[in-house]
Amino acid sequence: MVNPYNKYIKQYQTNNITTATPEKLMIMLFDGAIQFLQKAKTAIEEKNLQERAQNIDGARKIIRELMRTIDLENGNDVSKQLFMLYNRMAMKLIKANVSKNVNLIDEVIQDMTNIRWGFQKAIEIQSGVTSVDEVMKEYNQNQQNNIGEENAGPTTI
């Protein structure tokens, strides 16, 4: 059965994208990639080949878009390292798609979550919502809380 509100939902999503700041668009890209990867994991568990491939491909397209936003010519070492990290994530997803390895997808989700956290905190610092000291305090607290946990990132979404 078709949801009668699909048209309105689509319009709302379009408005969100067209009115979003560049910073908000970056966060939306991370969220989209993470959602694709969660769906890919479910598809692997359900042995749904088509869904697995579509969702991994969706995440890889977002990663490629994130790579395109990096100015390697004018950027610094952080830009180059971020580009290499995105490239490594894309390669892991190719391997995950072929091998049906959920652990590789989990690694990419963790990397995406960590990078998203960093971008979100940078936005908050830039807009004056928080300070570098507060972010470092939160980061250190999360690291202490996550000691011994596998794939423990700075925070959860």
| Residue 56 exposed, middle or buried by CB count within 10 Å (0-12, 13-18, 19+) | buried
Who's near 138: CB < 8 A, 6+ residues apart? 121, 154, 155
Helix, strand or coil for residue 141? helix
Closest CA relative to residue 88, chosen from 63, 69, 70: 63
With tokens 């999360």, the residue in question is 142
Total count of domains within the chain = 1
Question: Rounded to whole angstroms, what are the CA distances from 4 to 8, 10, 47, 116?
Answer: 8, 11, 30, 33
Q: Which domain holds residue 93?
A: 21-127
121 located within any domain: yes
Q: What is the pLDDT of residue 50?
A: 96
31: CATH: 1.20.120.340
Domain for residue 144, yes or no?
no
pLDDT at 152 over 60: no
Does 5 reside within a domain?
A: no
- pLDDT tier for residue 8 given thresholds of 50, 70 and 90: low
| pLDDT tens figures, 38-64 | 999 999 999 999 999 999 999 999 999
> 4 in a domain, yes or no?
no
CB 154 within 8 Å of CB 142: yes
For residues 82 and 70, the answer to whether their CB atoms sit within 8 Å is yes
Nearest-angstrom CA–CA distance, 66 and 69: 5
Does 61 fall in a domain? yes
User: Could you tell me if 52 and 43 are in contact, meaning their C-beta atoms sit under 8 angstroms apart?
Assistant: yes
Q: CB of 117 within 8 A of CB of 153? A: yes
Supply the mean pLDDT for the chain. 87
What is the per-residue pLDDT for 75? 82
Domain assignment of residue 33, yes or no: yes
User: Cα–Cα distance between 94 and 88 in angstroms, integer?
Assistant: 10
Lowest mean pLDDT among 53-57, 141-145, 151-155: 151-155
pLDDT reported for residue 19: 72
Q: Decide if pLDDT at 150 tops 50.
A: no
pTM of the predicted protein model? 0.79
**pLDDT, mean of residues 132-146:** 85
